Every structure is written in C-alpha cells, then in structure tokens.
Amino acid sequence: MTNTTVEPDEATRLRNHVVDELRADGTISSPKIETAMRKVPRHEFAPEAPLEKAYDTYAAVITKTDEHGVQLSSVSAPQIQALMLEQARVQPGMRVLEIGSGGLNAAYLAELVGEDGEVVTVDIDPVVTERARRLLNEHGYSRVHVVTTDAAEPIPGLGQVDVVMVTAGAWDIPPAWTSQLKQGGRLVVPLRMRGLTRSVAFTRVAGEHGDYLESESARICGFVPMQGSTAHREELLLVNGTPEIALRFDDGLPADPHRLDNAVRAPRHELWTGVTIGLQELVDTLQMTMAISLPGFCTMAVADDLDTGLVAPVNKRFAPSAVEDDTFAYLVTRRTEDNKHVEYGVHALGPNAKQLADKIADVLRDWEANRRGGLSPVIRVYPASTPDDQIPADRVIDKVHSRISLSWPSA
C-alpha cells in the first residue's frame, strides 16, 4: 500500500495510534503537541514510505542517501520529534528557527506558534529544501519560510528567535546558533559528545564573563549527521591491522595508536562486575559516566564478515569501550538467572588487561552507587576562547567553535 492510495480514515487511525502510544509512554505530555501531532498528516510528508512505515512510532523514514548508502536526510521517528518538541517548549507567537529541513517538523512548529508566530526552516541541501517547500505548500503551511543555506553562518535578516531547533546530528555548536537566540531562549540540538548523542535542551544564560548555554534536559537519540562547514567524522582505529575490529574516536585518536598493535595477541581477560540492570532500564547516565570518567573512552564496532571471535561484544555495531596505552576493553552483558536482568562485564585485551578491566568495573560500581537513576550531567557550552578557570567541569571537550563542559550535579 502506498500513501497515494491510502484511505483517509486508515491514516487517521494510525496517526492517533502513534499519539496514543507516545502519551502512554510519557513522551508526550503537552496537550498542544498532542493536538499538532494528531492534526498534521505525517504520511503526506513521507510519501516514499508505505503507510505502516510512516506511522512506525519509533522508527525514522530515510528520504535520501548518497551513492554509498550513507543516510543524508530522513523524517525523524514520531517519538524523537515529540521528545524534542516537548524539550523546546514552543508557545503561540514565538519565532522559531529550525535547522535541518524536511517539512513535517516545520508543520508541527507552525501549528504550535500559530498565526502570530513565525517558523523559518533551513537546510544546506537544495533538494531537501525544494521538497520541504513543496510539501508545506501542498498541506497549508505556506507561511513557513524555507531557506537554503549553511546554518553554521547567521541567517540574513533573521534577527533573534525564541527557539532554535536543530534536527540533524551536531558535533559542534557554531556561534551563530547562540547569537541568533534571545536571552533566555532555548536551543534544542542532538549533540554528539565523545561518540554519544543526546538531544539537549539548552537555555542561553548571561554569565559573569559572557553568555553561555546550559542544559535543562538531555535524552538519548540518533540523527543523520550535520553537513556543511560543521560536519565532523569520527576517526577509526583498526585493531589487529584489519577492519575486523574498529575503535571509533570522536575527538581524536590516542597519541600513539600503534601501541595497540599487539593487544589481541594475549588471551582475552574477562571480568563480571556484579552490576545488574533491568531489561528495559535506561543506561544513558551509565554511558555518560564512562565518557566522563575514562580519558580513552571510545566505541567499538566489529565487521560481521571478518569476525574471527577475537572480541565478543553483545552489539557488534556499538560497544562502549576504552583505551589505555597498549590495552583496550569493552562492555558486555549476560542474562541473570531470573532472566529479568542483565549483568555487566568487561572484556579486556592487551598487556595490562586486568588493570584496565578493574578500572572500568570500578567506574560501573561508582555509577551504581552514585548515579544510577539520577540526573544527567549538566552540559554547558562556552565559546572556544574561554579559559579553563571560567569553566566548571568534570570533563571539558574542546571543539572547533566551542568548549563543552560536563559536570555531575551535586544532588
């Protein structure tokens, strides 16, 4: 079944089912967002997809890939769109800048700001903006302004807005995003930090030494990466000299990556930590604890067609890992006897495997004792020129345009 042959009643039923699910799981709490998502015909903004796919509550619809199959543009999953709209707190009469256009999210925003508000949606790809303009016009949202440009630079004539919503994965925060935001305004962005992406709701704050951004919430998410001048790719370190095991580093490789050349020659050291979690328990703070606590934090991927069993991660595409000199380690899990929980373990390879495994186990136990079920770290974004003594942080991540600090809240 394609969208062009869909009966309106069936599309409405599926759309209402999606919203009902998102209300039930707590993603949607605002009546205004509920109303907007029940009204806008999502499937009409994803005409490439079968109706059932367009209304999959937790899955995105890919609308454009490159010649290698890399995703360049998508219609985000309803769950992600609702989550970010809740974070943005858009009110009637507001001016909103959306960075990363597709049409559907701009339609939701237009419903939320109303006739007295304004929505500007921007994308670097003219194919994407042409598609967005056509779809918005066809469905009664011609008042949305669609602009083709690299949003890392100020948008001519825009002035300041109440909300900046970024709907593409960002590695950095360009100064234009902050300067175009009103004092106290909100920036919602899928921000990548040490290989982990979180949808972060920031507020622009006036500080003693200048304005900065401070997080109010951060939620696990995944997004097509940003294109243009702020695009950034992870660097891969191939262990054992083959593409079998790839360690992905978001902020630069270790100083001497060749020290890992012989790590897989020694037997694998395995340690079970006694730290258990429920099967549906969120582990966002665990991942962030590792990223903050371990200087050599990275993620590991294993190529299926080259897998020789040297490593055995549960998820071959994404395993939280760490490197220390000539040794690397990664997290694993196993089911507990009651089959309702999993226990975390550590596999380590290299001359100092036991020491690194013990260090990671200590981090997990500290998380269990002090962070589990608690608040996410406070994320602050400062200009790249900000000196160290003006940045309170447990860890600082230096980007091109910004310095991002991560600090655990005191309570």
CB neighbours of 5 closer than 8 A, spacing ≥ 6? Answer: none
Burial classification of residue 147, based on how many CB atoms lie within 10 Å of its CB (0-12 exposed, 13-18 middle, 19 or more buried): middle
Q: Are 259 and 325 in contact (CB under 8 A)?
A: yes
Using alpha carbons only, what angle is made at residue 31 by residues 27 and 35, rounded to the nearest 5 degrees?
95
Phi and psi at 73, nearest 5°, equal -155, 145
Closest of 167, 90, 174 to residue 123, by C-alpha: 167
Residue closest to 296 by CA, chosen among 256, 242, 241 = 256
Alpha carbon distance 120, 306 (integer Å): 46
Closest CA to 52 of 22, 29, 78, 74: 78
Report yes or no: 99 and 71 within 8 Å, Cβ to Cβ.
no
Q: From CA 89, how far away is CA 108, in angstroms rounded?
A: 12
328 DSSP β-pair partners: 323, 349
Q: How many CB atoms lie within 10 A of CB 43?
A: 23
Which active-site residues does the annotation give? 76
DSSP E strands: which ranges in 118-268?
118-123, 145-148, 161-166, 181-193, 196-207, 210-220, 235-239, 245-249
Whether the Cβ atoms of residue 254 and residue 237 lie closer than 8 Å to each other? yes
d(CA 177, CA 326): 40
Region of 64 please: left (phi>0), alpha (psi -120 to 50) or beta: beta
Torsion of CA 176, 178, 181, 182, to 10 degrees: -130
